[in-house]
Structure 1
């Protein structure tokens, strides 16, 4: 399953870049995130609880940042195991483009699931994944824009 989109964020690119690398901001914005801990500058461990259709699942796994081109772009990828619910893995290429005092955050994401979640059907899982991605980027936008406004 593939998703793409973009968000206009009312903050300079360096502020958006710093937020994309801040585990506390990411934890607040990832839907259902229970914990997100920095293991190294490019590795994090995460625990997320989500509900897709009739299935609730808790996933734990690792997140890796690669192809880092600060402050313009990186690839974020992860893999989580949800016990009987199955597994989820995926990644996103994130690109930040300056537009005056704003930043355009564009993303292209791919996700793959298996186990009980995969049995729900691709339409339900796909629409849920898109909704979760949109929620993350909207929450991220609000958090970063508010932080930038408070600091200006």
Structure 2
């Protein structure tokens, strides 16, 4: 499975960076995310609940970040287990770029899945993945249209300390990956 997409966020790249680093903004935008835990500067665990047709499962996953180029791009790998519902694993690449008064957020995901989720029709899964993406970006754009708390921007030398941006976008992509499992 491969999935690509892009969104224009109505905020500067610096504001999008800050918004993606704000746990309150994320909790308001990511549906089904129960927890996120930082294990190191580049490794995180996540727990999400996702329903696709008749299959509803709680997924526990690990995200590993690489190729960090703040505030422009990164890559990640994901491995999630949903018990009897199945599993999902894959990789993603994310890019942020200034575009006019806004920011273009682009992503490309490659994934493999198994278990019950692999038996669900791709049309149903496509619909769920699209709805999850639409819901997240709608909520995130709305949050970004309002004031975003000021925060110090990390320098390129502080890339490992800038990891919250990466795990936030990684969680979003992981949710797409879990929803798009065939």
Taking the aligned partners of 2:143 and 2:111, their CA distance within structure 1 comes to 25
Number of positions where the alignment pairs a residue of Structure 1 with one of Structure 2: 150
1:34 paired residue number: 34
For the aligned residues, what is the CA RMSD? 2.2
1:78 paired residue number: 78
Greater fraction strand: 1
Task: State whether residues 37 and 45 of structure 1, in contact with CA within 8 Å, keep that contact through their aligned partners in structure 2.
Answer: yes
Given the superposition, is the C-alpha separation of residues 105 and 58 from structure 1 closer, same or farther in structure 2, using an over 3 Å criterion? Answer: same
Off by >3 Å, runs of 4+ in structure 1: 18-28
**What is the CA deviation profile of residues 66-96 of structure 1, one whole-angstrom value per residue up to 9, with x for unaligned ones?**
2111111112332110100011223321111
2:94 paired residue number: 94
In structure 2, the gaps of 5 or more residues are 151-182
Given the superposition, is the C-alpha separation of residues 147 and 88 from structure 1 closer, same or farther in structure 2, using an over 3 Å criterion? Answer: farther
Taking the aligned partners of 2:145 and 2:6, their CA distance within structure 1 comes to 15
Tell me the TM-score normalized by structure 2.
0.72
Tell me the TM-score normalized by structure 1.
0.84
Deviation of 1:135 after TM superposition, in Å, equals 2.4
1:50 paired residue number: 50
In structure 1, the gaps of 5 or more residues are none
